[in-house]
């Protein structure tokens, strides 16, 4: 796994450097849909990441946000790539965005890398080897009650038309907790759970590339990651709950009641 980790870190650093270089200097902002932004940095960063990974692992499969799936073999290995998680933030020069890269082997995430170049924070984890922020081992918080917990969530871009709008859950959990933040990058929110800055995070209708790396980082930091019903995480459904494990049942109970 050392080669995979070093290659993923190389790709994340390269994409992060591009993020910093172009921050505040965008020349092209398009819409993939009526509510979903894409910039030239999303596309260029993805191309850069794919070039680096494919040079080392040409027989692996890939799922990337902008170019979709590339299935070249049945070796059971797939890279999941979000070249710029938090594109709306980036387009407004709001400094909460990252690159997210994960490796899935036989249906299980075994490597995750999330890099915020602005803060110079690189979160990474390998299955069974713990989680790190830069070179420091990290772990989830020890907060045992929802009432004293700080949480984060997000909303689908088409909130008005999406039945998974998350507004009821947001209101209920805000009242039950110490507070809920919405910063616009699921990958970074998951990493903030992993290092104890947040006690929990939930969101609906995310894509696999949004949660693949961060979910492993939370688990390797001692947290719990499930769907909203406390079942196994299905990255294709996009409904995720990640906590320090101590407040997990309280949050599941709330989801069951709303």
pLDDT one-digit tens code per residue, 123-156: 999 999 999 999 999 999 999 999 999 999 999 8
At residue 17, the pLDDT reads: 98
At residue 37, the pLDDT reads: 73
At residue 165, the pLDDT reads: 79
Torsion of CA 255, 188, 215, 243, to 10 degrees: -40
Across residues 65-76, what is the average pLDDT? 93
At residue 158, the pLDDT reads: 64
**In the Cβ-directed half-sphere of 148, how many Cα atoms lie within 13 Å?**
6
Nearest Cα residue to 137 out of 79, 207, 196, 58: 196
In eight-state DSSP terms, residue 223 is -
8 A C-beta contact, residue 90 and residue 116: no
Q: Where are the CATH 3.30.540.10 domain residues in the chain? A: 2-138
Q: What is the CA angle 100-38-122, rounded to 5?
A: 20
Question: Architecture of domain 146-257 in CATH?
Answer: 3-Layer(aba) Sandwich (3.40)
At residue 198, the pLDDT reads: 98
Place 160 in a pLDDT band, splitting at 50, 70 and 90: low
Cα separation of 157 and 35, whole Å?
5
In eight-state DSSP terms, residue 148 is G
Q: pTM above 0.85? A: yes
CATH 3.40.50.300 is right for the domain spanning 2-138: no
- Cβ neighbours around 179 below 10 Å, total: 10
**Which pLDDT tens digit goes with each residue over 203-227?**
999 999 999 999 999 999 999 999 9
The yes-or-no verdict on residue 159 having pLDDT over 80 is no
Place 164 in a pLDDT band, splitting at 50, 70 and 90: low
């Amino acid at each position: 796994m050392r080669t995979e980790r070093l290659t993923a870190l190389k790709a994340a650093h390269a994409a992060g450097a591009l993020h910093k270089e172009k921050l505040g200097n965008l020349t092209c902002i398009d819409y993939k849909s009526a509510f979903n932004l894409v910039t030239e940095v999303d596309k260029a960063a993805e191309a850069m990441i794919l070039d680096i990974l494919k040079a080392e692992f040409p027989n692996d499969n890939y799922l990337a946000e902008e170019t979709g799936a590339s299935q070249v073999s049945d070796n059971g290995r797939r890279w999941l790539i979000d070249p710029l998680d938090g594109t709306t933030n980036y387009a407004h020069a709001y400094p909460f965005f990252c690159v997210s890269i994960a490796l899935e082997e036989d249906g299980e995430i075994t490597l995750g890398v999330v890099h915020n170049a602005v803060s110079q924070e690189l979160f990474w984890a390998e299955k069974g080897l713990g989680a790190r922020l830069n070179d420091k081992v990290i772990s989830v918080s020890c907060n045992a009650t929802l009432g004293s917990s700080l949480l984060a969530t997000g909303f689908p871009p088409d909130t008005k038309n999406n039945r998974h709008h998350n507004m009821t859950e947001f209101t209920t959990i805000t009242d039950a907790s110490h507070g809920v933040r919405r910063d616009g990058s699921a990958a970074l929110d998951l990493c903030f759970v992993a290092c104890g800055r947040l006690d929990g995070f939930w969101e609906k209708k995310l894509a696999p590339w949004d949660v693949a790396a961060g979910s492993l980082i939370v688990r390797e930091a001692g947290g719990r990651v499930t769907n909203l019903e406390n079942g196994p995480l299905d990255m294709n459904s996009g409904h995720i709950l990640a906590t320090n494990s101590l407040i997990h049942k309280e949050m599941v109970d709330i989801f069951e009641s709303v």
